[in-house]
């Protein structure tokens, strides 16, 4: 079957992967309302394309924290990628580098920061969970720095793991031949079998529930790397992120895997963008499956988007080549959307190019 869009990789991954692994990647928390909503909310945003504009040349390049990338589409941190494919994070890193974009490596990767750095050049960010033992955190941050990672994406929405019922039913645990490579030497690399989800038990034992804004300050004191706060959904927290010196915000609901019935990230985005007031960049993570989704996020003020599940599903289906294809398909679709909307560069994408559900014909005409 010829694959013509990103979502088709989901179907192939479901056929290829063991049920426990596919369910771990695919599922959300509890009723999975937010999981569906993350994608469906995009479908309620419509375009207002402009015509008779010369679109013979289109520039999709942008700069993220000072690093020039080929397009505003980056790779989100997803855990344990060697469950999807033997090359795991190595393949993802090479695909991101080939596409000229940024990969974010998960704390819970099945390849270490050093191993991923060894795949060759590329701009990479490191996603961080804060463990109860701060020495573990400090050590990990130093290793990421030494391995040439350029920023820390601090996950702030996981003081406890969300209730993922598929993982409970499957008694999810990391397959015995794999480890959480970044923690291997610290006796924190293995996940015990449990009567629940093995990951939920691991998080309950290791991750610090007392994490607060003072820890963001502490993190700044131990590293010179810029810190992106990942997991912001409200204006209040966006303002606090700015006040506490964050270099950027990632609007994220953790792939709908934490608190169910939070809004889709595309729904929360504009509130966060307005609160940030242009002082720091705001990125969107969650639900992006089309180039049209990328355009909608940028029209609502995002500086770029991160993709998660499309990466692990394409990795499962076709390894590095699959991840490359996902990035290329999204890039091509985004370029086409720009052309058909009358935009030749990212700065030309404006709020006037879209209509959100809350807007009536009156409010559209009123703002023109």
φ/ψ of 283, rounded to 5, equals -115, 160
Tokens at residue 326, please?
Answer: 């996902």
CB contact at 8 A, 70 and 331: yes
344 annotated as ligand-binding: no
Please enumerate in sequence order all residues whose Cβ is within 8 A of that of 213, keeping only pairs 6 or more positions apart, or say none: 240, 244
308 annotated as ligand-binding: yes
- Whole-angstrom Cα distance, residue 259 to residue 30? 8
79 annotated as ligand-binding: yes
- Whole-angstrom Cα distance, residue 112 to residue 118? 10
288 annotated as ligand-binding: yes
What Å distances lie between residue 11 and 16, 27, 256, 310, 313, CA to CA?
9, 14, 19, 11, 8
279 annotated as ligand-binding: no
CB contact at 8 A, 227 and 155: no
Cite the DSSP H helix spans in 18-112: 19-26, 33-43, 88-99
164 annotated as ligand-binding: yes
CB contact at 8 A, 125 and 145: no
- Whole-angstrom Cα distance, residue 114 to residue 143? 8
What Å distances lie between residue 330 and 21, 73, 96, CA to CA?
25, 8, 13
85 annotated as ligand-binding: no
201 annotated as ligand-binding: no
CB contact at 8 A, 153 and 228: yes
122 annotated as ligand-binding: no
- Among residues 239, 301, 303, which one has the least CA distance to residue 45? 301
Give residue 14's Cα distance to chain centre.
Answer: 21
252 annotated as ligand-binding: yes
Task: Tell me the sheet residues that pair with 305.
Answer: 73, 284
- Rounded to a whole number of angstroms, the CA Rg of the chain reads 20
Tokens at residue 87, please?
Answer: 């090359």
* 85 is an active site residue: no
203 annotated as ligand-binding: no
Point out the catalytic residue in the list 85, 181, 254, 353. 254
- Among residues 258, 90, 21, which one has the least CA distance to residue 162? 258
147 annotated as ligand-binding: no
- Whole-angstrom Cα distance, residue 203 to residue 131? 9
127 annotated as ligand-binding: yes
205 annotated as ligand-binding: no
Binding residues: 24, 77-79, 106, 127, 129, 155, 164, 230, 252, 254, 257, 285-289, 308-309
**Binding site feature residues for glyoxylate:** 24, 129, 164, 254, 257
Which positions are annotated as active-site residues?
A: 254
Q: Which positions make up the binding site for FMN?
A: 77-79, 106, 127, 155, 230, 252, 285-289, 308-309
């Amino acid at each position: 079957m010829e694959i013509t869009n990103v979502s088709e990789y989901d179907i192939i991954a479901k056929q290829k992967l063991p049920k426990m692994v596919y369910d771990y990647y695919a599922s959300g928390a509890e009723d999975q309302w937010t999981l569906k909503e993350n994608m469906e909310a995009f479908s309620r945003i419509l375009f207002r394309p402009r015509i008779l504009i010369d679109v013979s040349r289109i520039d999709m390049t942008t700069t993220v924290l000072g690093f020039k990338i080929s397009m505003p589409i980056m790779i989100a941190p997803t855990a344990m990628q060697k469950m999807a494919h033997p090359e795991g994070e190595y393949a993802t890193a090479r695909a991101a580098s080939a596409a000229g974009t940024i990969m974010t490596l998960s704390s819970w990767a099945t390849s270490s920061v050093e191993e991923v750095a060894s795949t060759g050049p590329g701009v990479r960010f490191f996603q961080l969970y804060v463990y109860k033992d701060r020495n573990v955190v400090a050590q990990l941050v130093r290793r990421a720095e030494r391995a040439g990672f350029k920023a820390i994406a601090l996950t702030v929405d996981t003081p406890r793991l969300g209730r993922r019922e598929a993982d409970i039913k499957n008694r999810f645990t990391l397959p015995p031949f794999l480890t959480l490579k970044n923690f291997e030497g610290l006796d924190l690399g293995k996940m015990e079998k449990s009567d629940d989800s093995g990951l939920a038990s691991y998080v309950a034992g290791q991750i610090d529930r007392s994490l607060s804004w003072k820890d963001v300050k502490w993190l700044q004191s131990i590293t010179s790397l810029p810190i992106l706060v990942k997991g912001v959904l409200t204006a209040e927290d966006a303002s606090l992120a700015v006040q506490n010196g964050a270099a950027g915000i990632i609007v994220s609901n953790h792939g709908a895997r934490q608190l169910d019935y939070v809004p889709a990230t595309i729904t929360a985005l504009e509130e966060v963008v307005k609160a940030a007031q242009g002082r720091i960049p705001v990125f969107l993570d969650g639900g992006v499956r089309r180039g049209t989704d990328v355009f909608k996020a940028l029209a609502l003020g995002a500086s770029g988007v991160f993709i998660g599940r499309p990466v692990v599903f394409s990795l499962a289906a076709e390894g590095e080549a699959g991840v490359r294809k996902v990035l290329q398909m999204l890039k091509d679709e985004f370029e086409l959307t720009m052309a058909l909307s009358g935009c030749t560069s990212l700065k030309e994408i404006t709020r006037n190019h879209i209509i959100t559900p809350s807007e009536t014909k009156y409010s559209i005409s009123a703002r023109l």
